[in-house]
Amino acid sequence: MIAMQTLKTVFYAVLCAALLAPPVHAEKADRDKPVNLEADAVTLDDIRKISVYEGNVVVSQGTMMLHADRVQVTQNAGGLDKVIATGRPVTFRQKVDGRDEFIEGFAKRIEYDSGKGQLELIGEAQLMRGSDELRGAQISYNANTEFYKVVGQADATTPAGRVRAVIRPKPRTEQPATQP
C-alpha cells in the first residue's frame, strides 16, 4: 500500500513538472484524468524519498505527454520537492485550455522545484506555442511570479548560440465596414 501511495505521489510530481512549464493555462480537464507512467525500470527509495524511472519514460495525463530517458523525483515532508528529467531531448506536449493549440517543450534536462515554483529547461531549450517559439541554452520560468528568463550560451559567437524568439502575427479578424 505504501508503494502504491509513493507511485501516486511520483506520478503527481512528474505531472506538475510538465504542467507548470507553459506560461499559458494547461487543459484544466487533464487534472481530473488518471496519470499513466511507463518505464523500463523503476527504483523506489522510501527512506530517502527518491524515485527514479529509467529507460524510455513516458508520462501522460489527459492531453499532457512527457518523454524522457530518466526521471528522478524527490519528496519532502510536504510531498513533492523536486523533479529532474533528462533525455536526448526531454519533450512534453499539452493542449492549451479552451483553445485548439498545444504548447510543446524540448530540452536536454528539465528541473522543477515545487517549493519555489521554479521550472528550468536546460540545454538546447525550446518552447513552442502554435507558430510562436522561444529558444535558448536555458529557459527559466517561475510559476509564482509568472516571470521568464531565457539565456543564450555565454560564449556564443554564432546566431545558434544566442536567444531566439519568433512571434508570428495573429490572423486578423475582419471588421465590418462602418457606413458614413
The residues that bridge with 122 in the sheet, in sequence order, are 109, 138
Please give the angle made by the CA atoms of 55, 160 and 153, to the nearest 5 degrees.
75
How would you class 50 by CB atoms within 10 Å of its CB: exposed for 0-12, middle for 13-18, buried for 19 or more?
middle
Segment 18-71, tens digit of pLDDT:
444 444 455 566 667 776 789 999 999 999 999 999 999 998 878 888 899 999
> In sequence order, what are the residues at sequence separation of 6 or more whose Cβ sits closer than 8 angstroms to the Cβ of residue 167?
132
Residue 45: per-residue pLDDT: 94
- pLDDT at position 176 is 60
Q: Which residue has the higher pLDDT, 126 or 37?
A: 126
What pLDDT was estimated at residue 28?
Answer: 64
> What global pTM score does this model have?
0.73
pLDDT of residue 16: 42
**Span 148-165, pLDDT tens digits:** 889 988 776 667 778 888
Mean pLDDT, all residues of the chain:
78
Secondary structure in 3-state letters for 73-108: EEEECCEEEEEEEEEEEEEEEEEECCCCCEEEEEEE
Q: Which of 147, 29, 146, 148 is nearest to 97 (CA)?
A: 29
Q: What is the pLDDT of residue 1?
A: 45
pLDDT at position 121 over 70: yes
